[in-house]
Structures are given as structure tokens and as C-alpha cells.
Amino acid sequence: MSCLMVERCGELLFENPEQNVKCVCMLGDVRLRGQTGVPAERRGSYPFIDFRLLNNTTHSGEIGTKKKVKRLLSFQRYFHASRLLRGIIPQAPLHLLDEDYLGQARHMLSKVGMWDFDIFLFDRLTNGNSLVTLLCHLFNTHGLIHHFKLDMVTLHRFLVMVQEDYHSQNPYHNAVHAADVTQAMHCYLKEPKLASFLTPLDIMLGLLAAAAHDVDHPGVNQPFLIKTNHHLANLYQNMSVLENHHWRSTIGMLRESRLLAHLPKEMTQDIEQQLGSLILATDINRQNEFLTRLKAHLQNKDLRLEDVHDRHFLLQIALKCADICNPCRIWEMSKQWSERVCEEFYRQGDLEQKFELEISPLCNQQKDSIPSIQIGFMTYIVEPLFQEWARFTGNSALSENMLSHLAHNKAQWKSLLPKQRRSSGGGCAGGSPDHTDHGTEDEEKTVTEGIAP
């Protein structure tokens, strides 16, 4: 058993199919524990939820009860599209800045700090390798490769691991979203109020957390995992289930790639812990906790960015902003992201309806329109956070630009609301009237529950 666990996924294969299934079971359940004592999940350990498999099984009459659905979802771990079942996956091309690099992509990277950066175009230009290409470039421009004496090939290998462990079939939670969040994080790290205080470690933590904050996301939210008795919900006791998984998976990839193996043990321990703190902060259920704390700091004017703890808190806030910044992008890009995230919501709702589960908030395509979902999201989640971020930055040019886009995009969605809702005073999530500044507590709770990752 021990010899199986030290092998890389994709390198084990037995002639007997039953042995393969048993091996998948063992690798799917294993959690690595290194010298730091921080549990790390093996790559590919997430039980992939294959909607096609569920649909096909339903038509064959094998599934019809909630109990059977739970059993199937639990069994998914054995058929997860992991490296073990797919075999050794060829590494993506090494996209570095050389004579063969696409000129348009290189030109875009020269403007990576601009807020109108088009991540969709960049992903096409890099043949679907936007996350790897962007991170290689940012690590180089920030001097992190030289400062931490990172091996470029090892860095690339790690980034390919991260990119591959995002599910490309997810409309929203995929590697392009991770690249978009990373580009936004890069913009925030350049804010004058913050940039002069940041250390190379702060910058590397911010970029790594942004890149891996949703790694191996299944395309369904935490309430879905809980009500289907998913093994990760049990593992993390229904608390920040996905965020814990993203963090532990990232640690597993860092250790497997040995990207930081040359650094002192104490430093790698600190990096792993801080990455966890950053990624866990993206849990939308903790939104009010962080927002209240930020308001208090700004009110008391007691943020001291020379202090490592205050800097880390601002990195948490920056990552939270980057994670939900889509409504602050230009309309053309913001609209695409809105449609993608709602499509992911609707897919979950369709799955819940098919198997007679309660449909989660904002996941009912017949009742929850894209405009109403987006207006509620902007009103109760995005606006309060970005208004406080603007206060921190001293209303920087970037902050004013983002708030301007936010107001414009909200007006655009209002204009697209069904006529009956507009005539009754607008609409937010669930079709309730949009009170713009002060929504009811129930409406805010509905939005928060609905967009919980």
C-alpha cells in the first residue's frame, strides 16, 4: 500500500480491472501529510461530477431516488477523470517568451496591468494556456524567479499541474477564471497605497493564491455537496468545503512539483499556511466578517502596512475583490462572465431538479433571470466591498474606474430586466425589488447562499 501512495497519478496500471478500481479508491481517499503537518490532498482526488454519466444512468432507469443519487456521487471518485484513469497526459507546450511566441500574445502581456485586459482573447491567443503563460510572465516581471531562485522548468511544471486541475467543462470555474483573477490581483498589487509595502513573498503569495484559489472546482456549490453527502463535505465538516479542498490540493501540487523544496523548512511551512489563509478568505459566507473588519480598520485609521499581519489582511481583501471583480470590468467582458456563472448555476439547478433535490437559490432558470441575479449580486456583495476598497486606496484611478464600470453594468442589467419587474421597482435575486442601497436581510442571505462557491 505504501508503495502505491508514493507513485504519481498516471503511472500505475494493473492488468486486472478490479485492481485498478481498488487502486483508484486508495488514491482518491489518500491525504498526504508532509513534514509541516498540514494535510494535502493528492491531485485528482476530487470525485468529478459527470453530468453525462448521471443523465445516461437516469434514462436507463438505474437512478430514481435521492439515496441512489448520493451513492452515485460518492462512487464518482472511482471514475474521476484523473491522471490515473487518463494515463500520463502530455505536458502542454512550454510557452515562454521566445521567437516562436505569438506576437499578439506578447503585445497583450506588455499591457497586463491595464484593467481592460481581455482574458478571453488572451486565452485564445495562447491556445488555452492563459493561466500558465500569465503566471510565468508575472513571476518574471516581479523578479520572483530570481529572488526565490526558482527553477523555470519546475515552475512551469507546477503551473501546468494547476491549470490542468481546473475543469474546462465548467462554464465559469475554470482556468480562464483563475487567469482573470490573477490578472486582477496583479493590478491590485500595483495600487500605490499597497505596492510600496509589499515584499517579494507577499507578491508571490498573492499571485499563487489567485491562480489556485478555485483549483479542481466541480462546478457545483457547497450546499450541493452537503445535501448529496459528498465525501469532501464530510471530510471538512461542512465548513468552507471547497476552499479547504482548493488549499490542500494546492499544497499537494507544490510538494509534488518540488517547486519550493530548496527553501528552508520554516519558510515553506509559512507559505503553505499563508496560502491557506488567503484561499479560505474567498469563502463568500465570510463576506460580512471581512467587510466589517475592513470598515473598522478604515474608520479607526489603524492599518499599519509595515506590519506583516496587516499586509496579509489586505492581501485577503485584494484576493476577495479579484475573485468577484467581474461586475467591475467593461460591459462586454462583464456580461460574458455573468452569463457563464449563471449557466453554471442553472446546470446545478437542472441536476437538482432531475434527481428530485431541492433547487438551490439562484439555480432555477425558470425563476431566476440573469439580470435579477446580477443586480442582487452587485447590490449586496460587490458594491459594499469595492466601496471600502476604494476608501483604502484613496479613490485611486483604478478604483474609480472599477466603480464607474460597476454602476454602468448595473444600469445595463436593470434595462434588461423583464418589463413587469422594472415597472414594479426593479429586481434583484429571486425577483424581489431592488432597493439599491439597503436590501432586506433575507434578500442578501439569498444572494449569498446562491453564489456560495
3-state SS of 362-403 is CCCCCCCCHHHHHHHHHHHHHHHHHHHHHHHHCCCHHHHHHH
- Which amino acid is it at 275? L
Cell of 422: 422594472
Q: Which of 430, 426, 427 is nearest to 446 (CA)?
A: 430
d(CA 286, CA 384): 14
Contacts of 95 (CB under 8 A, 6+ apart): 101, 126, 129, 132, 133, 136
Cell of 53: 454519466
80 is catalytic: no
Report the run of H or E that residue 31 belongs to, with start and end.
strand 31-33
Q: How far is CA 52 from the centre of its chain?
A: 23
Q: How far is CA 241 from the centre of its chain?
A: 13
What's the start-to-end Cα distance of the chain, in Å?
A: 35
What residues pair up with 33 in beta bridges, in sequence order? 39
d(CA 132, CA 129): 6
Sign of dihedral through CA atoms 172, 49, 52, 14? positive
Length of the chain as a residue count: 453
Of the residues 167, 173, 177, 245, which is catalytic?
173
Neighbouring CB atoms inside 10 A of 337's CB total 21
For the chain, percent helix, then strand, then coil, each to nearest 5?
65, 0, 35
DSSP code, position 35: T
- Taking CA 280 as the corner, what is the angle to CA 293 and CA 33, rounded to the nearest 5 degrees? 140
Cell of 363: 439555480
What residues pair up with 40 in beta bridges, in sequence order? 32
State the catalytic residues. 173
